[in-house]
Amino acid sequence: MISTVLDSLSWLLLLSGCACLLISAIGLLRMPDLFTRMHAAGIGDTLGAILVLAGLMLQAGLSITLVKLVLILFFLLFTSPTACHALARAALAGGQKPLLAENLNTENPISESSPTEQPLP
Amino acid sequence: MNRLVHGTSLALTLAVIWYLLSGHTEALLLGLGCGSAATITWLALRMDLIDHEGHPLHLTFRAPLFWVWLMWEIIKANGQVIKIILDPKLPINPRRFRVPASQKTDIGKVIYANSITLTPGTICLDVTESDLDIHALTADGELGLKSGEMDRLVTRLEGDS
């Protein structure tokens, strides 16, 4: 009885985690520039990873596998913002200018025809 | 706290992680684990890597509460960004601005910057002595950071040490 409940809960978590990863990928395709795309990628890094790993933890039960999954989540939550920050810094150093609201075409916000020179606020 | 406390704590942490990752209790593997933990601790001591930054012991007891709060913030922010992505009009309003960082130590600023980046919708682009350079996806993200709640909580987490 309890194992059925745990199993369903685990599947619910795994499937919603997969949905988050899918939405994150859709966001990556829909966003107009590198910096806004990083926000979309953040969903897969955080909620997607948390939900998938939580679902796997319920499958693992009280075992050494559970400890390893907790460690994976722990290290992921420390390293992913660091990698994200490094990517943003590298893009800025490489001359990428973030697309900002004042330069967005308000009628068609995902238009690619934005000006190349974007002043910083 | 001195080097002895930090060194002992690092060696114990490493030994426990070795045991949890291997799961074996044979004398050979336990011996190898203790040997590795001791060697790494010795190397880290020689390289002068063990201090309050490399091994922030002083955060141990305050950090779990902060994690719980941060998890809730991450879930809320994820909901907002998911809504934006699934909206056919893609109502983004990207902006770049600076927020003050009131943390005194480098590690406090790093925790603040990483917490901001970990929350979808806001990314920290640069860290200076007194403030952070932020890129946010929406006006809500900017308002949320400028309310200063996260800044206050990280400063409290950092404590006096």
> Which residues, including other chains, have CB under 8 Å from residue A38's CB and lie 6 or more apart?
A84, A87, A88, B123
Interface test with B, best of A46, A50, A120 (most B CBs within 10 A): A46
Residues 54-73 of A with CB under 8 A from B: 64, 67-68, 71
* Contact: B78, A30; criterion CB under 8 Å: no
Write down the pLDDT at residue A110.
46
pLDDT in tens, A29-45: 999 889 999 999 989 88
Confidence bin at A104 (pLDDT 50/70/90): low
Q: How many CB pairs under 8 A join A and B?
A: 112
Integer CA distances (angstroms), A4 to A11, A59, A62, A98, B10, in order = 11, 11, 16, 49, 41
Mean pLDDT of A22-30: 93
Residue B46 dihedral angles phi and psi, to the nearest 5°: -60, -35
ipTM for the complex shown: 0.81
Please give the average pLDDT of every successive group of 10 residues along chain B, which has 161 residues. Answer: 80 90 87 92 86 75 88 91 90 89 88 91 89 90 87 84 49
Q: What ranges do the domains of chain A cover?
A: 2-96
Looking at every residue in chain A, the average pLDDT score rounds to 84
Chain A residues closer than 8 Å to B68 by CB = none
